[in-house]
């Protein structure tokens, strides 16, 4: 029988790697929580229309990357991102009726049918936050600051923050006109996709990698010159706030996010160390989305952070968050009677919160010691007929080799715990 394989573009996270994910997730949760963000959990699939309306009918994500599944009469779509579903949940459960702003975070997997490559999977994991209710640039600064804090605490080095403002729909309409006017005379020289983009979404032209198009676009009008007074002052204030917080950034007028819901502030944290897919975190303001999804007109913003990309970046810089699975004590039984006693002792220790293991393979003493060493057991204890008769056994510290005698009675778990804690403290002081 042929072995069934994982679908294209998916990953198994194995023991060893999963500890690293847990460490990352723990840091994300703690950081979000101290900023007042609380976790929200939403379904993996939603009505397809939520995404076509929320993310945007014309976006690539909606047009060609969605996993839409049909079961019986109904049809649903696996979420390609977290924002639409989160906003839907906020509205459906009336969270906007509570104290504003509403701050939520999530860790979830997203699904997009794209061609996999470095830093791009068909199922990927995202940490994201959304804040609803504030139109003020201080909210933008807070959200960016949260992402910045996470990246700093992770110790990621070469990640740069790029910000831009793409204005409100009104600014953008004027800007689109100006762009078309600029590029139209050069239309024939542009690459094929850009000729199409000229009509559909001229801002994407600025993003084109083709050297010819880049050259043509060099002197193209810049969105920042077309912002209305409101949008312009919003952006200026945001920059002031970022300076105030000591967060370095560069203004990149070429940032054009591919999801339709963005307004005003957009930003990306980009690294160059993991290949072409270097956007490790991206987000911005989406003041029109909540209304678009049938809620009350409410300003909001957020970001998504790609966890696989984050880990790739960390690894490329030699950082590894993973920690070995703990084993405080490995009990080495010799003989049937000892095996039964070992089983009891291990169970007792676990109830007291110590990580304890004993033999389940029927191995020789020597083989058991090797195993204990391999799994990184901090202490071992051999028990055989002698120990059972004496009611006492020798505890061995695997790192120092130090040996201590312990009674195998009711005081055992407590006595072991004391020794184990003392050892932990001693290691910490080294």
Contact set for RNA, span 174-213 (CB under 7 A): 193, 197, 204, 207-210
Site for RNA in 142-161 (CB under 7 A): none
- Token pair for residue 187? 């239309």
Site for RNA in 31-50 (CB under 7 A): none
Question: At closest approach, how far in Å is the CB of 136 from RNA?
Answer: 23
405 class by beta-carbon count within 10 Å (0-12 exposed, 13-18 middle, 19+ buried) = exposed
- Region binding RNA by CB under 7 A among candidate stretches 22-30, 182-190, 228-236, 270-278: 270-278
Number of residues near RNA (by CB under 7 A): 73
Told to check if 275 binds RNA by CB under 7 A, we report yes
Among 173, 385, 405, 418, binds RNA (CB under 7 A): 385
**CA dist., res. 253 & res. 267, Å (int):** 10
- H-assigned helices in 155-297: 169-183, 192-200, 211-216, 229-244, 289-292
Q: In what order do the strands lie in the sheet with 379-383?
A: 356-358, 329-333, 379-383, 392-397, 403-407
Told to check if 263 binds RNA by CB under 7 A, we report no
8 A C-beta contact, residue 207 and residue 179: no
- Region binding RNA by CB under 7 A among candidate stretches 40-48, 94-102, 137-145, 253-261: 253-261
8 A C-beta contact, residue 78 and residue 62: no
Site for RNA in 3-32 (CB under 7 A): 5-9
- Region binding RNA by CB under 7 A among candidate stretches 96-104, 152-160, 365-373, 408-416: 365-373
**CA dist., res. 274 & res. 285, Å (int):** 27
How far from chain centre, in Å, is Cα 144?
A: 15
Per-residue 3-state assignment (H helix, E strand, C coil) for 394-418: EEEECCCCCEEEEECCCCHHHHHHH
- Token pair for residue 101? 């702003």
8 A C-beta contact, residue 65 and residue 80: yes
Question: At closest approach, how far in Å is the CB of 257 from RNA?
Answer: 6
Residue (180 or 237) nearer to RNA, CB = 180
DSSP 182: H
Among 20, 140, 142, 268, binds RNA (CB under 7 A): 268
Residue (209 or 218) nearer to RNA, CB = 209
Question: At closest approach, how far in Å is the CB of 147 from RNA?
Answer: 10
Q: How many CA atoms lie within 13 A of 302 on its CB side?
A: 29
Question: At closest approach, how far in Å is the CB of 108 from RNA?
Answer: 11
Site for RNA in 75-104 (CB under 7 A): 81
Told to check if 350 binds RNA by CB under 7 A, we report no
DSSP H/E element including 371: helix 365-374
Among 119, 137, 167, 295, binds RNA (CB under 7 A): 119
- Region binding RNA by CB under 7 A among candidate stretches 84-92, 169-177, 215-223, 276-284: 276-284
Beta pairing, strands 38-39 & 102-111: parallel
- Region binding RNA by CB under 7 A among candidate stretches 214-222, 287-295, 385-393, 404-412: 385-393
Residue with the two structure tokens 């956007």: 279
Site for RNA in 280-319 (CB under 7 A): 280-282, 304-306, 308-309
Question: At closest approach, how far in Å is the CB of 112 from RNA?
Answer: 5
8 A C-beta contact, residue 54 and residue 83: yes
Told to check if 396 binds RNA by CB under 7 A, we report yes
DSSP 97: G
Told to check if 120 binds RNA by CB under 7 A, we report yes
Residue (324 or 401) nearer to RNA, CB = 401
Among 79, 257, 285, 341, binds RNA (CB under 7 A): 257
Told to check if 341 binds RNA by CB under 7 A, we report no
Among 166, 300, 382, 419, binds RNA (CB under 7 A): 382
């Amino acid at each position: 029988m042929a072995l069934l394989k994982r679908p294209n573009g998916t990953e198994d996270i194995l023991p060893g790697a999963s500890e690293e994910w847990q460490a990352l997730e723990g840091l994300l949760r703690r950081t979000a929580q101290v900023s007042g963000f609380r976790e929200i959990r939403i379904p993996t699939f939603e009505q397809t229309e939520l995404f076509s309306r929320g993310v945007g009918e014309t976006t690539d994500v909606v047009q060609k990357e969605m996993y839409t599944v049909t079961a019986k009469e109904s049809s649903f779509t696996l979420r390609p991102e977290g924002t639409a579903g989160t906003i839907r949940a906020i509205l459906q459960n009336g969270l906007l009726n509570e104290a504003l702003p509403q701050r939520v975070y999530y860790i979830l997997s997203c699904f997009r049918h794209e061609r996999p490559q470095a830093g791009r999977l068909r199922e990927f994991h995202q940490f994201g936050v959304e804040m609803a209710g504030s139109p003020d640039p201080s909210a933008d600064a807070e959200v960016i600051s949260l992402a910045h804090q996470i990246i700093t605490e992770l110790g990621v080095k070469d990640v740069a923050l790029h910000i831009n403002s793409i204005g409100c729909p009104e600014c953008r309409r004027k800007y689109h006109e100006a762009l078309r006017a600029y590029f139209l005379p050069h239309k024939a020289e542009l690459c094929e996709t850009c000729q199409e983009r000229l009509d559909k979404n001229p801002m994407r032209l600025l993003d084109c990698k083709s050297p010819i198009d880049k050259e043509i676009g060099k002197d193209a009008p810049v969105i920042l010159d077309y912002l209305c007074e409101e949008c312009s002052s919003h952006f200026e204030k945001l920059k002031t706030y970022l300076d105030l917080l000591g967060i370095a950034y560069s203004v990149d007028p070429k940032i054009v996010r591919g999801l339709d819901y963005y307004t005003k502030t957009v930003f990306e944290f980009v690294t160059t160390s993991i290949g072409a897919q270097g956007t490790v975190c991206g987000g911005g303001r989406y003041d029109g989305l909540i209304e678009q999804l049938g809620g009350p007109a409410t300003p909001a913003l957020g970001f998504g952070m790609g966890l696989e990309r984050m880990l790739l970046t960390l690894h490329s810089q030699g950082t590894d968050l993973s920690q070995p699975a703990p084993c405080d004590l490995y009990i080495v039984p010799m003989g049937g009677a000892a095996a039964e006693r070992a089983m009891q002792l291990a169970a007792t220790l676990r109830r007291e919160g110590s990580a304890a293991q004993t033999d389940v393979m029927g191995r020789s003493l020597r083989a058991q010691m090797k195993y204990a060493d391999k799994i990184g057991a901090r202490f071992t204890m051999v028990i055989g007929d002698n120990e059972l008769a004496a009611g006492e056994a020798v505890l061995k510290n695997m790192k120092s080799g130090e040996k201590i005698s312990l009674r195998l009675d009711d005081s055992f778990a407590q006595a072991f715990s004391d020794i184990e804690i003392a050892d932990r403290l001693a290691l910490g002081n080294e």
